[in-house]
Amino acid sequence: MVPFKVDLKNKVAVVTGGGGILCGAMAEALAECGAKVAILDLRQDAADKVAKAITDKGGVAIGVSANVLELASLQQAEKIVCDKFGPCDILINGAGGNHPKGTTSNEFLTKDDLAKVGTKDFVSFFDLDPEGIKFVFNLNFIGTLLPTQVFSRKMAEKGSGVIINVSSMNAFCPLTKIPAYSGAKAAVSNFTQWLAVHMSKLNIRVNAIAPGFFLTDQNRALLTKPDGSYTARADKILNMTPMGRFGKPEELIGTLLWLADDKGSGFVNGVVVPVDGAFSAYSGV
């Protein structure tokens, strides 16, 4: 259930990464408010699962396989969406993620670590794989830029549209161990501001949501043990989150709908909204 309704009837929404937990919840909320929703995901089965959940409730949705790093794949997806629903009115750039090759083993580099540089099963700053860094950066930043190029073209032609990017707390304050992901999400936030200015004369609003810490398929193994209890890293996150818990997917929906609705946020443009339980506001003391 959405926390409040906005009128998205006759709007076409495209959600990249829509087969995941957070963006799947976003897709369902947009559909509940009347939008026709195309769920784009690299995994066709994941996209179809979310689309089915929407149509089973009486909404209108399709699942579309698409790779946000391949222009031809996105162009084909855009054609499918246009043929089925019409041009995109609301684009949610939710595809992204991290990769072990862009992650260090330890939070801090110590003298003892220097002896481990180049050894098996240990990744220091000096061991970070440039290809892994590129993959993470591209998935998050290029994976936001390319879908925007493809799906905002018709927005520009008709002179209206809404683009909502998914940034992260890492963009405000980089987390230890994940320099590639932190840098990429900072780029997404910066791009959001740049694009809001660039598209402003065409009546296209561009904003971003910066989620704090939510349990998802991507981070569950990092934050929880097999028995469901929290890992040491999860405990550190919760200690730095004044509300003392992880967010729930549905707690992103109010911000999403506010930003998607021209009546509710028609003069809101170029902002990155934290939804983080005050994580970004807390100094630790």
Catalytic positions: 181
Output the CA torsion sign for 193, 199, 200, 203: negative
Letter string b/e over residues 261-283, b meaning 16 or more CB atoms within 10 A of that residue's CB? bbeebeeebbbbbbbbbebbeee
* Angle of CA points 27, 34, 47, to nearest 5°: 25
3-class secondary structure per residue, the chain: CCCCCCCCCCCEEEEECCCCHHHHHHHHHHHHCCCEEEEEECCHHHHHHHHHHHHHCCCEEEEEECCCCCHHHHHHHHHHHHHHCCCCCEEEECCCCCCHHHCCCCCCCCHHHHCCCCCCCCCCHHHCCHHHHHHHHHHHHHHHHHHHHHHCHHHHHHCCEEEEEECCHHHHCCCCCCHHHHHHHHHHHHHHHHHHHHCHHHCEEEEEEEECCECCCCCHHHHECCCCCECHHHHHHHHCCCCCCCECHHHHHHHHHHHHCHHHHCCCCCCEEEECCCHHHCCCC
Distance CA 69, CA 149 (A): 12
Rounded to a whole number, what is the largest CA-CA distance in the chain? Answer: 61
